Amino acid sequence: CGHVEAPVSQLQRSAASHPSTRMRKCARESVCAHLKSGDAVVRAAGVLALPQVAERGDQDAVAALCARLEDRDPEVRRLALAMLPALAALGDSVAAAAVTARLKDPSPDVRWAVVEALPRVLGKGDPRGLAAVQEHLASADLGTKVRAVQMLPLVAEQGSPEALAVLLDCVHDESYLVVVHALEVLPQLAMPGDPRAVAAARALLQESGASGHVQRAARRALELIAA
């Protein structure tokens, strides 16, 4: 094929202008060569290019991208997690194992990328997605906890008793910001009329010490859940 040293942008253009099976295979092999470069910038470019030169479900391409989840550079790992759902078929066992293996990644940005990738790789409602969010809810960092609350509807189905139990714990968090965001998410997770959700929102609405922000969020949540 003769394109191993070609710039990634050139490979993308070649694959787009020559959509034959042979050309796509050559482009994919060339991009995969970039993934093994000693330069992290080149590897990152290869990660971004791979979904454009490989078909969804291509197991060789999926394996090549999964290998980058072990990359020594955290930005390459993060990008690989972001690109993997574009290549892996939903429920792909190789991709699922590779993504869940990064749950304890030392980089917080990579761990967030795991949370965002999980429902797109495993499917919404997989317990591993909820477990990943719970890891972040245990953080002492307020911003991390708020973001984790916002992620709950992305990894869990509406009506999930496990996810709702996690969210209701957040409704009683010591930070009013976590409480407000939990109330905003509540109608997305609780089924209409759910007695636990209604009771939680009503209790905060009636709580004399609750801030105005919390009471407004509780009122809105109650309107949506009880509707």
Asked if residue 181 is part of any domain, the answer here is: yes
Q: Cα separation of 133 and 114, whole Å?
A: 10
Tokens coding 218: 């509780």
Q: What is the pLDDT of residues 170-200, one digit of tens each?
A: 999 999 999 999 999 999 999 999 999 999 9
Q: Is 170 helix (H, G, I), strand (E, B) or coil?
A: helix
**Burial of 181: CB neighbours in 10 Å, binned 0-12, 13-18, 19+:** buried
Asked if residue 14 is part of any domain, the answer here is: no
| In a shared domain, residues 138 and 205 | yes
**pTM beyond cutoff 0.75:** no
| In a shared domain, residues 115 and 190 | no
Half-sphere exposure of 118 (CA within 13 A, CB side): 26
| In a shared domain, residues 159 and 88 | no
Q: How many domains does the chain contain in total?
A: 2
- Identity of the amino acid at 98: A
CB 83 within 8 A of CB 71: no
| In a shared domain, residues 85 and 151 | no
| In a shared domain, residues 107 and 163 | no
| In a shared domain, residues 153 and 200 | yes
Asked if residue 63 is part of any domain, the answer here is: yes
Residue 101, domain extent? 32-122
Q: Which CATH number fits the domain that encloses residue 79? A: 1.25.10.10
Asked if residue 180 is part of any domain, the answer here is: yes
Q: Cα separation of 90 and 106, whole Å?
A: 26
Q: Cα separation of 143 and 13, whole Å?
A: 40
As a whole number, the mean pLDDT across the chain is: 87
Tokens coding 178: 């976590």
Q: Cα separation of 144 and 203, whole Å?
A: 26
| In a shared domain, residues 113 and 145 | no
Asked if residue 13 is part of any domain, the answer here is: no
pLDDT in tens, the chain (227 residues): 434 344 555 555 555 554 556 666 777 778 888 899 899 999 999 999 999 888 899 999 999 999 999 999 999 999 999 999 999 999 898 998 899 888 889 998 998 898 889 889 988 888 888 988 898 898 888 988 998 899 899 889 999 999 999 999 999 999 999 999 999 999 999 999 999 999 999 999 888 787 899 999 999 999 999 86
Q: Could you say which of 66, 87, 122 is where a domain stops?
A: 122
